[in-house]
Amino acid sequence: MYEFADREIRPLVRQMDEQAAIPRQLIDRLFELGVMGIEIPEPQGGAGAQFFHAVLAVEALSRVDPSVAVLVDVQNTLVINALLKWGSEDLKQRCLPRLAGSTVGAYALSEAGSGSDAFALSTRAVESGDAFVLTGRKLWITNAHEADLFIIFATVNPDAGYHGITAFVVERGAPGFTVGRKEDKLGIRASSTCELLLEECRVPRANVLGETGKGYKVAIETLNEGRIGIGAQMIGLARGALDHAVHYTKERKQFGKAIAEFQAVQFQIARAATDLEAARLMVYSAARLRDAGEPFVKEAAMCKLFSSEAAERIASLAVNLYGGYGFVRDYPVEKLYRDAKIGQIYEGTSNLQLQTIAKQILS
């Protein structure tokens, strides 16, 4: 995966960032490599591998471009995981082979008034015969521009609170369903982030994911896994930034010698490498717990919190060590610095991770 990323993704990184798009040819290559369906069983076209392998793929891709990595991450840790665990046999047979072969998936929970308060949903789902009619608006939906299959959360009973939330599988092209404008973002610009509009969108009852009113369980359990995926994205990003910094400090000369020879620089590199190793071990540990069927909620929150903050520090250090060159787009580290910021925001802010960790420890 490292070789693929260096050979086929690295030459496109600046173009993708400036154009805010991932070429379809590159997405097709990801499908050909099998990284878009890592846990999907082999009979359904997937790799039949473990969650830990998805983590390794996301890390390797993030070292070169976190935008491409998050496309793979959402596909595997959110969309496919939700279908594998909660999908009916009919949904699995209809969706998993497509997700393994050529179809990009997206996961739509967030709304304008429902970010950190994830279950304050205003999107409604009203029963109508053998279907549900969905009306509402979703925001900040990763992969939405490329996706043909969406997991969308709506409430069937606002009075029931989070017990009214239900997850639905919605196809692009469904009447009343529209992918809206793409956000113009600070970082991970090639990764699409769009709004979704649902105007009396009719969804067959067979497309309910899990049980009616149990969508909160789908969301909570899937997001716990997704946080490990974001941890993997952040350690890959940090690895890329640190690699660039180490290489550059050996080349850049000040006062007659390479800046890597100055103890102050050496100590900063050493501390960054230590932070990265700690973050990597936390991500790997959480992924292994998940694969072993052991509790991992606290560990997922910890690895997401620590790795996202470490990635921002390490990317910032790389910019500093590049000096003025680190501040211009001709060099790679300013992009990684921009990309790092989102790690502390999406799939649960750092404050929410702290809340989760404290609750697990004190309960």
Find the helix or strand (DSSP H, E) in which 209 lies.
Answer: strand 208-209
Tell me which residue of 175, 248, 166, 152 sits closest to 210, measured CA to CA.
166
What's the helix, strand, coil split of the chain in %, to 5? 60, 15, 25
φ, ψ for residue 124, nearest 5 deg:
-105, 150
Please tell me the distance from the alpha carbon of residue 46 to that of residue 64, in angstroms, as a whole number.
Answer: 24
Please tell me the distance from the alpha carbon of residue 67 to that of residue 6, in angstroms, as a whole number.
Answer: 14
Q: How big is the CA angle at 311 (ends 309 and 317), to the nearest 5 degrees? A: 105
Tell me which residue of 200, 201, 196 sits closest to 181, measured CA to CA.
196
Give Cβ neighbours of residue 3 (< 8 Å, ≥ 6 apart).
none
Give Cβ neighbours of residue 30 (< 8 Å, ≥ 6 apart).
36, 68, 71, 72
Tell me which residue of 31, 100, 30, 105 sits closest to 64, measured CA to CA.
30
Tell me which residue of 84, 2, 13 sits closest to 35, measured CA to CA.
2
Q: Which residue type does 77 have? A: T
Q: Which residue has the tokens 């996961």?
A: 107
- What does R_g of the chain's alpha carbons equal in angstroms? 21
Catalytic residue among 59, 146, 299, 347: 347
Active site residue 347: yes
Residue 307: C-alpha distances to residues 33, 63, 239, 311 (Å)? 27, 14, 11, 6
Query: Six-digit token pair at 171?
Result: 């196809």
Active site amino acids: 347
